[in-house]
């Protein structure tokens, strides 16, 4: 029997790349989108799901359970970016970001866990970000929402280990997707004291995503994790420098590391 995989936010970018890759490896893949009718050519079935809406979460998961009798692997991938000087990001946008990147994935996990527990088996992969480990200017809220998901994953893994369920995080560095065009950008007036530095940093961030790695690489990593009897708890996906950045942050004097980041942004 091929494993049943559910990937949230699989209409584009990393989620779609994981779905396409696993389809080719004969897994039974289900993805989600807030508007599946826009993606009729998808290689796998897309269910309607908005992670900010509990009714939509319940409906999607109940439908898949009805068809398949269970979900073996949940990949919490749906997410959105947000940039801006913290002082200038409206409260509502901070809340919206946390709803999609943090509260939504938790509600999906809470819905799916009873089914995984009853089978005494399951794998949950939460897509976080390198930004969860290394903060850079004007990405405070995004970093915080992903860091929160990272820490919940760490603690949850210990809670559900007795039920033979693993929780793993993948923290991507820069990958070439649509995330930059979809993220919320705080609008910085020319008179803002942050305007010049934020504009430059934003251009750099967008260039990094555009020139990022192929999301298919994350599909390969997910396959490796699914096939591993004893997966690691945390993976970083990206270049060599992205992989070592969190360790450099721990090893180098704090001021020195901060200077490197500030020089680059
Ligand atoms: N690209 C990178 O460099 C990078 C780096 C680190 C982490 N990540 C993380 O990787 C994940 C995928 O991002 P991506 O780069 O592939 O971006 P993307 O191409 O913009 O894809 C985002 C996906 O999330 C879905 N989505 C957004 N809001 C949603 C909501 N409220 N409910 C349900 N689905 C929602 C979108 O689906 P619909 O619009 O069809 O609903 C879309 O399929 C995100 O969690 C992101 O934070 C990306």
Q: Name the residue among 6, 142, 131 with its Cα closest to residue 63.
A: 6
Q: What is the pLDDT of residue 177?
A: 94
Q: Is there an atom of ligand 1 within 6 Å of 209 CB? A: yes
Domain count, the chain: 1
- The alpha carbon of 8 and the centre of ligand 1 are apart by a number of angstroms equal to 9
Structural domain includes residue 9: yes
Q: Name the residue among 236, 224, 221 with its Cα closest to residue 174.
A: 236
Best residue among 177, 216, 218 to mutate for probing ligand 1's pocket (most ligand atoms within 8 Å of CB) is 177
Q: Are 6 and 57 in contact (CB under 8 A)?
A: no
Residues with Cβ within 8 Å of 90's Cβ and at least 6 positions away in sequence, in order, are: 186
Structural domain includes residue 247: no
Structural domain includes residue 124: yes
What is the DSSP code (8-state) at residue 100? I
Best residue among 8, 9, 176 to mutate for probing ligand 1's pocket (most ligand atoms within 8 Å of CB) is 9
Q: What is the pLDDT of residue 102?
A: 98
Structural domain includes residue 128: yes
Q: HSE of 113 in the Cβ direction (CA atoms, 13 Å)?
A: 15
Q: What is the pLDDT of residue 77?
A: 98
In 10 A of CB 107, how many CB atoms? Answer: 17
Q: Looking at the chain, list the stretches that DSSP marks H as alpha helix, in order from N- to C-terminal side.
A: 13-24, 54-68, 91-98, 104-119, 140-160, 179-182, 195-210, 216-227, 240-251, 254-264
Q: What is the pLDDT of residue 262?
A: 92
The CATH number of residue 185's host domain is 3.40.50.720
Structural domain includes residue 200: yes
Parent domain of 16: 4-239
Q: What is the pLDDT of residue 264?
A: 86
Q: Is there an atom of ligand 1 within 6 Å of 182 CB? A: yes
Whole-Å CA distances, 59 to 18, 48, 53, 112, 230: 23, 9, 10, 12, 32
Structural domain includes residue 51: yes
Q: What is the pLDDT of residue 187?
A: 84
Structural domain includes residue 258: no
Per-residue pLDDT of the chain (265 residues; tens, 9 = 90+): 799 999 999 999 999 999 999 999 999 999 999 999 999 999 999 999 999 999 999 999 999 999 999 999 999 999 999 999 999 999 999 999 999 999 999 999 999 999 999 999 999 999 999 999 999 999 999 999 999 999 999 999 999 999 999 999 999 999 999 999 999 999 888 899 999 999 999 999 988 888 999 999 999 999 999 999 999 999 999 999 999 999 999 999 999 999 999 998 8
Rounded to two decimals, the pTM is: 0.97
């Amino acid at each position: 029997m091929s494993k049943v995989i559910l990937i949230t936010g699989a209409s584009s970018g990393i989620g779609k790349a994981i779905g396409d890759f696993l389809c080719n490896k004969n897994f039974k893949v289900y993805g989600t989108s807030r508007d599946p009718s826009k993606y009729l050519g998808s290689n796998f079935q897309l269910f309607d799901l908005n992670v900010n809406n509990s009714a939509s979460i319940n409906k999607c998961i109940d439908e898949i359970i009805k068809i398949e009798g269970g979900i073996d692997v949940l990949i919490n991938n749906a997410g959105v970016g947000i940039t801006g000087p913290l002082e200038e990001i409206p409260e509502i946008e901070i809340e919206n970001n946390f709803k999609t990147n943090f509260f939504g994935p938790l509600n999906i996990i809470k819905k799916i866990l009873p089914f995984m527990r009853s089978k005494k088996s399951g794998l949950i992969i939460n897509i976080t970000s390198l930004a969860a480990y290394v903060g850079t200017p004007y990405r405070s809220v995004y970093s915080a929402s992903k860091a929160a998901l990272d820490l919940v994953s760490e603690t949850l893994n210990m809670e559900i280990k007795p039920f033979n369920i693993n929780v793993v995080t993948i923290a991507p560095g820069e990958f070439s997707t649509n995330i930059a065009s979809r993220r919320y950008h705080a609008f910085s007036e020319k008179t803002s004291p942050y305007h010049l530095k934020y504009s430059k940093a934003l251009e750099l961030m967008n260039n990094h995503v555009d020139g990022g790695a192929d999301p298919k690489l994350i599909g390969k990593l997910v396959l490796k994790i699914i096939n591993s009897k004893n997966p690691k708890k945390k993976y970083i996906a990206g270049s060599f420098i992205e992989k070592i950045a969190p360790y450099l942050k721990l090893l180098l004097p704090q001021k020195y590391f901060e200077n490197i980041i500030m020089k680059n942004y």
